[in-house]
Amino acid sequence: MIERYTTVEMGALFNDVTRMSTWLDVEVAVVRALADSGVVDVKDADIVEKTRPTIDADFVARVQEREAITHHDVAAFVDTVQSTMGNDSARYVHYGLTSSDVVDTAQCITLVKAMDVILNEVKDLDAALLMQANAYRDTIMVGRTHGIHAEPTTFGTKVALWLLQVRRDVVRLKDAREAIRVGKLSGAVGTFSNIEPEVEAKVCQLLGLVPVSATQVIARDRHAQMLYALTTLGATIEQIALEIRHLQRTEVSEVFEPFATGQQKGSSAMPHKRNPVKCEQLCGLARVLRGNLVAGVEDIALWHERDISHSSVERIILGDSLALAHYMTRSMAKIVAGWEVNAARMRENIEASFGVVYSQTVLLALIDSGLTRDDAYRVVQELAQRAFAERISLRELCEKDERVTSALSPETRAECFDPARLVRHTDVVFSQINS
């Protein structure tokens, strides 16, 4: 995992000590379930629980030394556990199991915990977006389509729509969490040849998992579903970050990501620079999440009852994707909470296109007056093009054009250029985010 983008919470979940500790949790739970089923003496299960080794850096180092001999990580782990325990009861550790029983089940425990960390972080992003949406509910700005001025909207509406998208992400994250909250202990090819189904059920109950039918491994569509949920969350964050990058451009100057004035430096060469570097970073990291999703989907198809082509991939993409998603969510929550909004500049930019953002309202008013749509369209299109070419407001041109003044009353003409009328239905989206 890349230290730069790994939060403390995720780093604690994805390290060798935690990984082997979770393996051991599964192994000990199996011995206890075997004892409950009468396969193993209860005294042996008690001894295994009491003498289970402490998993620390020294233990991990000994496993790695053993793996250099066995060339098998789980076999080296089991050997080290048993030798550390040093008693006859240790022989029941890994009894009837195959490596994937332990690795896959333990990995799902970790993935569920990681998803909980992300879901908890998304709450802060939700709260920040909700606060800003309500704060700027009536802050009028120009809406852009294809990067070109379209019609007025409000900044609060823009933020509210982001919030609704984040909440859809939460639904996907929760669904993926449940899909991955599973375990299997059904043996080499999933037939329960040496472990009874009730043992699997008992262990999963102890570990907070749901037992699922499987081959030697848990089906990887579950992991791909999790990666997809993380990727769509990343895409939502990217969408917000990309918009801020556009709105922070010098020619626009409407919204700025946080900047520590007097401390932060935007450029090593140009003191005036205030670049949207954090948002650019998040857009880049979203690309990594998408790439990891592709690898995760390709892990679904394995040979027969299993191969290990997925294993090397997952050692990279699962922890990294979860860490990136957490880092990105936390970063975006801070950006949203601390961004700077220039409402005055937003109003200026509406007029920067000489009022052509009101062309549709003039068009419809002319249609209502009796003109055909095509005739009305050509009148407004001509005036809008003149507004750009001559740098004169569309309203002024309309007031001087007999085709408009003869068709529309002064009151109607004034209404056409009232931005508040165009954003009068903001309650539609805000009723959804505040419900």
214, 184 Cβ separation under 8 angstroms: yes
Assess whether 312 carries a catalytic annotation.
no
CA distance to 143, 207, 262, 357, per residue, from 385 (Å): 19, 68, 45, 12
Q: What is the spatial distance between Cα 60 and Cα 8, in angstroms, rounded to a whole number?
A: 20
Residue with the two structure tokens 């500790």: 21
First to last CA, the chain: 39
- Number of Cβ within 10 Å of residue 217's Cβ equals 22
Question: Hey, what are 151's tokens?
Answer: 């019609």
The one catalytic residue among 71, 146, 272, 304: 146
Residue keyed to tokens 């009730």: 198
Name the nearest CA neighbour of 26 among 165, 195, 257.
195
> CA-CA distance, 40 to 8, in Å (whole number)?
40
Both tokens assigned to 405: 């003044």
Report phi then psi at 230, rounded to 5: -65, -40
- Number of residues that this document lists for the chain: 435
Instruction: Look up 246 and say whether it is catalytic.
Output: no
**Distance from C-alpha of 299 to C-alpha of 306, rounded to nearest angstrom:** 11
Contacts 24+ apart (CB under 8 A), 413-418: 413/365, 415/361, 415/365, 416/358, 416/361, 416/362, 416/365, 417/355, 417/358, 417/361
8 Å CB contact between 137 and 154: yes
Residue identified by tokens 């390290």 is 15
> Letter for the amino acid at 30?
V
* Catalytic residue (choose from 37, 83, 193, 267): 267
**CA 327 – CA 13 distance, rounded (Å):** 14
Across the strands, what pairs with 141?
153
Q: Which residues contact 47 (CB under 8 A, 6 or more apart)?
A: 87, 89
Give the helix ranges, DSSP H, for 217-259: 221-248
The residues, ordered by sequence, that sit 6+ positions from 151 with a Cβ below 8 Å of its Cβ are 142, 143, 357, 358, 360, 422
Catalytic positions, written as ranges:
146, 267
